[in-house]
Amino acid sequence: MNTALAPVEQLLIGDFWVLWYAKSNTYSIVNTEFKLLLDEYLVSESKTQFLNSLYFEEDKELQNKIVENLFSYLQNCNSPYSKSTTSTSTDLDKRQRYISKQYNFEHKIVQVNYCSELVLKTIHPSIAHYCNISKSKVDVLFDVYLKENHLHLFKNEELISYVPKKDYHYIQGKFIMQLLCELHNKTEKDWIGSLHGSTITDENNAILFVGKSGKGKSTLCALLANTDLKLLADDVSPLLSKDQHIYYNPSAISIKQGAFKLLEPLVNNFNKLPIVDFNKTKGNLKYLPCTKPKQNHYPCRAIILVNYKPESKTLLEPISIKTILETIIEDSWLSPKPKHAEQFLSWLKNMKLYQLTYSDTTCVTKEVSNLFKEL
Amino acid sequence: MKKENNTDKITRKEAISKMGKYAALTAVGTFVILNPLKAQTSSAPNPGGDPFS
């Protein structure tokens, strides 16, 4: 019955089944009881056959409710995936090249042309620490400009994306993805996804730190990057299909004003970093550049949900896959390809999952260092 | 749909038979559906801001 609606991938991770539906690129997390009923529903040849397996034939109303719930669940999980499309008809407007910056990423020189100081602030501050050259031979050329209330992004004079200006974070995300492809010699199709979280490495293994905005994720990573550990990626952690490693993202850590006071005495020269006041509703930001790790990629062994809580003790405790996925999936880009979904689920199953509650900066860095030793 | 062997089938049928009717109803109401972003982004901005004006 309705086998066309069945999940294409499924894996038991801890106490929960994680199911993936290809049609919609939807991830669903269910408990074992739900999974039993769903499997029975899907293998039953008719509604009657399914109802006969429920062993409480006397209650028709309740039986029907169960069938209705399962059917509507499957409908929800199979609503077609429509990818946002970018028109390719827009031509590059070279008159918009008012500001040019060149960035030196070891073996690659990247030039970005911006139409104004305000547009420059969408991209430049997070990679400003690589902007130390000029007039070199350029390997990759980007153009970012605002025209007719839309932000445009071109790479080597080809349109990559354009979005209404209020959605500028899509241009930031697209730019980072294109930059990652260039720096690591990949194409977009090579990535399983870009996970919303920051990754720290001890140069053997890596840990992905996730958490909703304001939970102390970036602050913690700034603290950790100030120890023997290194920042591999801030905010956007790219996961490659080939080796399932997380790759280096050159962006600096974006720190919100609320954390300035805490970090000033702990991070060298923090007070000398310029303040960026790009988005008034988001408040002032500082971008903290970090030392690059030796390698470009490391295997991730654990995911930590960061939970800053004033006055709390440092507490590292196991957490369910359900809580982790509820935190990251909807803020991450994940490839809709079945191969990538299968790899993502297997990758998740190998992760150790924790919640880290903290307030004391010394204790929390010690706790994370100890965890690295156990990986 | 995946092929299942008889052991799977019997185990599942047994497990369902042990499930009370309210447990079954509760079970089908407890699930999470999550959709990833369709395009890459950086952290979403707070709503209401227009940084370009």
Complete DSSP assignment for A18-35: EEEETTTTEEEEE-HHHH
Three-state DSSP state, A315: strand
Q: What is the identity of the amino acid at A87? A: S
More confident residue, A228 or B53: A228
- The nearest CA of chain B is from the CA of A161 a distance in Å of 10
Question: With 90 as the cut, is the pLDDT of residue B9 above it?
Answer: no
Surface of A (103-162) touching B: CB under 8 A: 118-119, 121-122, 146, 161
Share of chain A above pLDDT 90, in %: 79
Considering only A223-237, A295-309, B1-15, which range has the smallest mean pLDDT?
B1-15
- The answer to whether residues A125 and A276 touch, using CB atoms and an 8 Å cutoff, is yes
Specify which of A123-137, A182-196, A277-291 reaches the highest per-range mean pLDDT: A182-196
B22, closest residue in chain A (CA to CA): A62
Contact state of A28 with B41 under an 8 Å Cβ cutoff: no
Give the per-residue pLDDT at A133: 75
- State pLDDT tens for residues A241-275: 999 999 999 999 999 998 999 999 999 889 999 99
φ, ψ at B5 (rounded to 5°):
-90, 170
- The answer to whether residues A18 and B24 touch, using CB atoms and an 8 Å cutoff, is no
Closest partner CB to B49 (pick from A213, A254, A282) = A282
- CA angle (B37 as vertex; A27, B32 as ends), nearest 5: 30
Mean pLDDT of chain A: 92
Question: With 80 as the cut, is the pLDDT of residue A24 above it?
Answer: yes
Considering only A163-167, A333-337, B16-20, B31-35, which range has the smallest mean pLDDT?
B16-20
- The answer to whether residues A9 and A24 touch, using CB atoms and an 8 Å cutoff, is no
Closest partner CB to A84 (pick from B16, B35, B38) = B38
* Residue A351 burial (C-beta neighbours within 10 Å; 0-12, 13-18, 19+): middle
Q: For chain A, which residues make up each domain, given as ranges?
A: 3-77, 94-183, 190-374
Question: With 70 as the cut, is the pLDDT of residue B20 above it?
Answer: yes
Contact state of B35 with A254 under an 8 Å Cβ cutoff: no
Three-state DSSP state, A102: strand
pLDDT category of residue A206 using cuts at 50, 70 and 90: very high
Tokens of A37: 């009923």
Mean pLDDT of A132-151: 88
User: Residue A35 and residue B12: Cα distance in Å, rounded?
Assistant: 10
List CB contacts (< 8 A) between B50 and chain A.
165-166
Give the per-residue pLDDT at A282: 65
* DSSP code for A309: -
Assigned CATH for A190-374: 3.40.50
Mean pLDDT of A113-137: 90
User: Residue B13 and residue A103: Cα distance in Å, rounded?
Assistant: 62
Share of chain A above pLDDT 70, in %: 96
Strand partners, A143: A113, A154
List CB contacts (< 8 A) between A323 and chain B.
none
First to last CA, chain B: 54
Considering only A119-128, A173-182, A319-328, B12-21, which range has the smallest mean pLDDT?
B12-21
Please spell the DSSP secondary structure of A272-301, one letter per residue. GSPPB---TTT--EEEE--PPPSSSEEEEE
Query: Is the whole model's pTM more than 0.80, yes or no?
Result: yes
Q: What is the identity of the amino acid at A324? A: I
